[in-house]
Chains A and B, each alone.
Chain A
Amino acid sequence: MKSRFKNDIMLVSIILVVALILFLFFKFSLKTGDMVVISINGETAFKLPLNTDTEKTVKSELGENVILIKGGIAQIISADCRDKICVHHEAISKSGETIVCLPHKLVVVINGEEET
């Protein structure tokens, strides 16, 4: 029993170390992006510059989301889905940051210059 407990702690340590490495890797690979890429169903639907204030309504057969770009940050301000997880998501501005709306298969990603 005692050695199993030790194994548990080992397992947790390994998991947490992997998570930390992943986290640091992601953190340092993030750069300030300049394009907002909105994709539906895995396909890019719109590309909008992050430095221009706009409000974009994205409609698909699955539903509607309103994306607001203001002052260099992007966020989803309204959606007609049930749980509104994407609306509660905090605003994004760095390359690689994402807001996902699972029921509408909609993804908002910030892209760096080199990728666009």
Chain B
Amino acid sequence: MKNTTQRLAFLGVFSAFAIILSFVESLLPPIWSAVPGIKMGLPNIIIIFLLYRFSIKEAATVSFIRLLTVVLLFGNAMTFLYSLSGAVLSLTVMWLLKKTNHFSVVGVSISGGVCHNLGQIIAAVFLLGTKEIGFYMPVLTVSGTVAGIFVGFCGIILLKYTAEFKF
């Protein structure tokens, strides 16, 4: 991106997109109440887009701003740690997989979805001191994969239709 002002405005707009998607997602009814944490991961569409269109820097900035805002608006100090752990792990893995250049947007987004859930489970195991929470992981792996496929295709569409747009 060219200059600081442009960059600032741009990141603000995309943070707002991601926050709105988080809000929309929170309005959806839980998909399967027996296992908490199954989500579509809609905000990840924006993160994937930024990661591909720009760089990890923009993706990480927007991801962190979104997380902070959503926690301040709807969550509490505990949910912040779970979300942070999930976001950091998923961003790192997506970034590394993208760097290898062996996977498509969908593959990268699947890894992000699965790692987001894995990060949250790891945080929960440490914070609650109960390893039994790991029992949720198989289900969350499958749900993360399905969500990742959906998000990946949304990302491809978004990237395709904004390909000629100069930011």
Q: Which residues from 68 to 94 on chain A have a C-beta closer than 8 Å to any C-beta of chain B?
A: 85, 88-90
Q: A85-B36, A89-B33 are in contact. Are A19 and B129 (CB under 8 A)?
A: no
| Interface residues in chain A, defined as those with a beta carbon under 8 Å from any beta carbon in chain B | 1, 3-5, 7-8, 11-12, 15-16, 18-20, 22-23, 26, 39, 41-43, 85, 88-90, 96-98, 100, 102-103, 105, 107, 109
A11-B103, A16-B142 known; A89 vs B36 contact (CB < 8 Å): yes
> How many A-B contacts at CB < 8 Å in the complex?
95
- If A11-B110, A19-B138 touch, whether A90 touches B130 (CB-CB below 8 Å) is no
The 10 sampled A-B contact pairs (Cβ below 8 Å) are A3-B102, A4-B103, A11-B103, A11-B107, A89-B33, A90-B34, A98-B130, A98-B135, A102-B78, A105-B127
Q: Collect the chain A residues with CB atoms within 8 Å of residue B9's CB.
A: none
Contact A22 B141 (CB under 8 A): yes
> B63 in the interface, Cβ–Cβ < 8 Å?
no
A97 cross-chain contacts in B, Cβ below 8 A: 132, 135
Interface of A is mostly: helix
CB distance from A112 to the nearest CB of B (A): 12
Task: Give the shortest distance, in Å, between B98 (CB) and chain A (any CB).
Answer: 11
